[in-house]
Amino acid sequence: MKRTIASLLMSSALTLAAFDAMAADKVTLQLKWVTQAQFAGYYVAKDKGFYEAEGLDVEIKPGGPDIAPPQVIAGGGADVVVDWMPSALATREKGVALVNIAQPFKKSGMMLTCLKESGVATPADFKGKTLGVWFFGNEYPFLSWMSQLGLKTDGGPEGVTVLKQGFNVDPLIQKQAACISTMTYNEYGQVLDAGIKPEDLVTFKYEDQGVATLEDGLYVLEDKLKDPAFKDKMVKFVRASMKGWKYAEEHVDEAAGIVLENDATGAQTEEHQKRMMGEIAKLTAGSNGALDEADYTRTVASLMKGGSDPVITKEPAGAWTHEITDAALK
């Protein structure tokens, strides 16, 4: 009899758990890059049960060099994506109506890192130099900056030669380029790990040069926002995600550990992820998830200052909304 009751209780518990799993709203998040501390807030939110508490079942899909978040969401492979605003706005102008619903990253981590021996001391010294640039949508901030400096990117004597950079620091180590694209939280550390000392480098942060554009925002398709159920799901997702981000800021080492637990490739190291998380926390600090209109305006202005070849050709309309964050922050 006791065994029968125990079996019934166990069966009921399993049934209830299965029901709860079925009842949870599913959300698929497509990241911009591979599993790393750049996305710690989402992994923390899942690990700590913040999504579950909102009644969400969130799948986090890692990105990679051959994965473009706008293409994934346009093809129905995700509900929400992490992307940089230059890429999102360029994609919107091309017909895929992405809308920024939240902006966890307040500051930009992008910069050019140069070898001091190359003779680059100021942006004026870029002329005639080879510069490493990421593509797949990451090139837009760079192209806008060069345009504002009056430098062509066709390799002529009055401009710069663009080296299509892989997602590594090899061109600088091998001295194929005077400068390469780096993030404060990732590739810059890789340069140091390669044995180059900070005093042998010159860095130009986009933030300091006044050409920073918003990075790592959350985007959905505009048509989806017409569905009240989807909007409610996004409110819950953003609220839980921001709890994850704030927790990660305050518990850097723990957040790095959670990221490592979710790295199926085993490629990341504890030291690297802790260092990355420390830098990421500087970029998300001060953000409650709501897009700052001044930051948006600066990004748009920068992208439109492209001379004959701007990243976007007209002021976007409807490219962002506070509706989700306003509800999430109540």
pLDDT digit string (tens) for the chain, length 330 residues:
545 555 544 555 555 444 444 579 999 999 999 999 999 999 999 999 999 999 999 999 999 988 999 999 999 999 999 999 999 999 999 999 999 999 999 999 999 999 999 999 999 999 999 999 988 767 888 988 998 899 999 888 889 999 999 888 999 999 999 999 999 999 999 999 999 999 999 999 999 998 889 999 999 999 999 999 999 999 999 999 999 999 999 999 999 999 999 999 998 999 999 999 999 999 999 999 999 999 999 999 888 876 656 788 899 999 999 999 999 998
- Helix ranges (DSSP H) in 153-269: 170-173, 187-193, 228-250, 252-261
- How far is Cα 153 from Cα 312, in angstroms, rounded to an integer? 17
Whole-prediction pTM value?
0.88
Closest by CA position to 160, among listed 193, 217, 118: 118
What Rg do the C-alpha atoms of the chain give, in angstroms?
22
CATH homologous superfamily of 110-205: Periplasmic binding protein-like II (3.40.190.10)
Q: Which helix (H) or strand (E) holds 92?
A: helix 85-93
What is the pLDDT, as a whole number, of residue 306? Answer: 63
pLDDT of residue 17: 47
Fold for 25-107+214-328, please state it.
Answer: D-Maltodextrin-Binding Protein; domain 2 (3.40.190)
Amino acid 7: pLDDT: 56
Give how far Cα 245 sits from Cα of 81, 136, 228, 233, Å. Answer: 16, 26, 26, 18
pLDDT at 16: 45
pLDDT at 2: 47
- Give the burial string for 70-107 (b: 16+ CB within 10 Å, else e): bebbbeeebbbbbbbbbbbbbbbbeebbbbbbbbbbbb
Q: List every span in the chain annotated with CATH 3.40.190.10.
A: 25-107+214-328, 110-205
Gap between the Cα atoms of 306 and 313, Å rounded: 9
Measured CA distances, 292 to 79, 321, 329 (Å): 23, 11, 14
Q: How far is CA 101 from the centre of its chain?
A: 14
pLDDT of residue 50: 98
Helix, strand or coil for residue 120?
Answer: coil
Place of tokens 């920024």: 100
Contact 88, 218 (CB under 8 A): no
Residue labelled with tokens 């920068």: 302
| 187/194 Cα distance (integer angstroms) | 10
Pair of tokens at residue 130: 């080879």
The number of helices, as runs of H, and strands, as runs of E, in the chain is 13, 10
CA pair distance 314, 299, nearest whole angstrom: 13
Joined together, the tokens standing for residue 243 give: 């709890």
